[in-house]
Structure 1
Amino acid sequence: MDSAIFFNQLFAGLSTASILLMIAAGLAIIYGSMGVINLAHGEFVMLGAYATWALQTFFGLGMLISLPLVFVAIGAVGWLIEKGIVSRLYNRPLDTILATWGVGIVLQQAITLGIGSQSRFVQRPEIFDGNLFFGDLVISNYRLFILGVSLGMLLVTYLLLTRTEFGTKLRAVIQNREISECYGIRAERVYGLTFAYGAALAGIAGALVTPLISTTPTMGTTLVVDAFLVVIVGGVGSLVGTALASGLIGEASAMLSMIFNDTTGRILLLVAIILLIRFRPTGLIPQTVRG
């Protein structure tokens, strides 16, 4: 195998992993802290992509300026969904799954009816056009930017959960909601902000991925399936496990697709994940924010 092809594919897998990391981190936080399996998470990715497209198309805002706006906007959407629907279904996991699945369908159809089903395109920042060359290795500046943002958001998320008053309150509510409320912690507010933050991470991932793939109402479906696999493999609620699983799945997908083809590589990856779950059902690093 040509070493240049190998290392280029290795970097492509790392780029895929960085996108999966941001999506899966939101899932891990929501499920690990709230016990909610959010099937509408892919639609938050999609909304982030369309919000970036709208800001660029109608307001002339570049991606770098749009990112914080998208973070706040999609976080607000997540907060409203948690307050209006999810908060009424805690401790009812099957109902939550059905409700969030329905929310996802509604969001998809709303975008289809309001904007259309045709693909949209977002221009990447000009500053990240071009590539870096290291011998035969070609590294896309924009993919390198995505990797940096992903690692930055992972660090911010870790510090938020472990080094802030909000993180302390979240862990207290998870351990014992009733006692926490006796000490003045508003559990419903903590849950709402947690859900909003997870949605905002997905929105940022959607914004970043728009120059790389087609922006359509169904774009989040495939991405969130892979993100769920990352959460399961890494260990539900574990940020470290999520980061590790994102890298492993992204690289394995890229390498298997290169050696075989996309379809065969996908099948082999799923078989490997099934075997891992069979022998290690708690994931690679079975840890949650409860610890």
Structure 2
Amino acid sequence: MEFFLQQVMTGLGIGSILLLVALGLALIYGSMGVINMAHGEFLMLGAYCTWALNTFFGLGLLSSLVFVFLLVGAFGWAVERGVIRFLYRRPLDTILATWGIGIILQQVVRLSAGGELRYVEMPEVLTATVSILGVTVPGYRVFVFVVVAALFALTWALMYKTDFGRRLRAVVQDRDTATCFGVDADRVYSLTFAYGAGLAGLAGALVAPLKSVSPEMGTAYVVDAFFVVVLGGVQSLLGTVVSAALLGQLTGSLAWVTNDTVAKALVLVAIVVIIRFRPQGLFVAKVRS
């Protein structure tokens, strides 16, 4: 039983990180149809913002989170206003443009902050371990899990309990009709992209103490994020949560049996098989026509 609980906790830890990275992408890709290849670089910007705030302004990780969200969200808003809004309904051009933006961001960070690895100190209050059902869990992992749950609840409330969420869902279902009823679709898209970018920035900030901060750190995360979003059904927030949990548990279990590299390969095979027989994903968002 102790071994089972340990595997469950490990899987939840991996799944929470996956959901943290995928949440912003799920909102941008699922709601706006934008395949944002620069999502990993938004995460990387969040990590570097955290490092810079700590190095140059003396702010700890916890004190930096709000600033990171606002800074990366503002940058995402500028990207949508300056580039993305001219490429809607042109998916190939959007992929190429965001891919190019990602490469530019990597080079700008490398030239300005250097290419060497940077490190963000974990808050001392979160370095202790916590006992849950007799299983010892790092306190920072618990903190990340709680933050991810809170961000998901906030995003769900924003989507389904606010006027902005209703406007966004109206634009997603039929942009022309929503515009006829007075919805400013351009403004809705700009704010949605900014919010998704801000979530990616928060993901980078929270991942930074666990991984070394480097210009290429977002590349691996964006691949996993796309796996989570596509498997979950693209437009379903609940599907994103379930797929992140499933992939986390599967990755943790396979890594214990084999190793991390083989586990990642086997998880990819499992995703391909599932999508082969259920291309719409595990969950499909239902809309009224």
Structures share a fold, TM > 0.5? yes
Instruction: Work out which of the residue numbers 207, 210, 215 in structure 1 matches 2:208.
Output: 210
Distance 2:130 2:221 in 1: 27
Deviation per residue, 1:162-193 (Å, 9 max, x gap): 01010011112122222322332211100000
* Corresponding residue for residue 43 of structure 1: 41
Distance 1:5 1:43 in 2: 37
TM-aligned CA deviation for residue 129 of structure 1? 1.6
Deviation per residue, 1:256-277 (Å, 9 max, x gap): 0110111221221111111101
Cα pair 1:237 1:289 within 8 Å, conserved: no
Deviation per residue, 1:86-142 (Å, 9 max, x gap): 000001000000000000000011101111111111111222121013576211111
* Corresponding residue for residue 257 of structure 1: 255
Cα pair 2:46 2:72 within 8 Å, conserved: yes
- Between the aligned residues of both structures, percent identity stands at 53
* Corresponding residue for residue 279 of structure 2: 281
Q: Which amino acid aligns with 2:46?
A: G
Cα pair 2:173 2:287 within 8 Å, conserved: no
**Please, what TM-score do these two structures have when normalized by structure 1?**
0.95
Distance 1:145 1:122 in 2: 16
Distance 1:114 1:65 in 2: 23
Instruction: Work out which of the residue numbers 220, 223, 232 in structure 2 matches 1:222.
Output: 220
Distance 2:169 2:147 in 1: 26
How many corresponding residue pairs?
289
Structure 2 gap segments, 5+ residues each: none
**Please, what TM-score do these two structures have when normalized by structure 2?**
0.96
Deviation per residue, 1:52-83 (Å, 9 max, x gap): 11111110111111101111111001000001
* Bigger Cα displacement from structure 2, 162-171 vs 18-27: 18-27
Distance 1:111 1:5 in 2: 42
* Corresponding residue for residue 22 of structure 1: 20
* Corresponding residue for residue 191 of structure 1: 189
Q: Which amino acid aligns with 1:138?
A: T
Structure 1 gap segments, 5+ residues each: none
What is the root-mean-square deviation in Å for CA atoms of aligned residues?
1.6
Superposed, 1:105-144 pairs within 5 Å as: 105-134=103-132, 137-144=135-142
Deviation per residue, 1:201-259 (Å, 9 max, x gap): 11111100111011100001101100100011111111000000001111111110110
Runs of 4+ that moved beyond 6 A? 288-291
Distance 1:143 1:290 in 2: 40
Distance 1:123 1:288 in 2: 43
Change (3 A) 1:289 1:53: farther
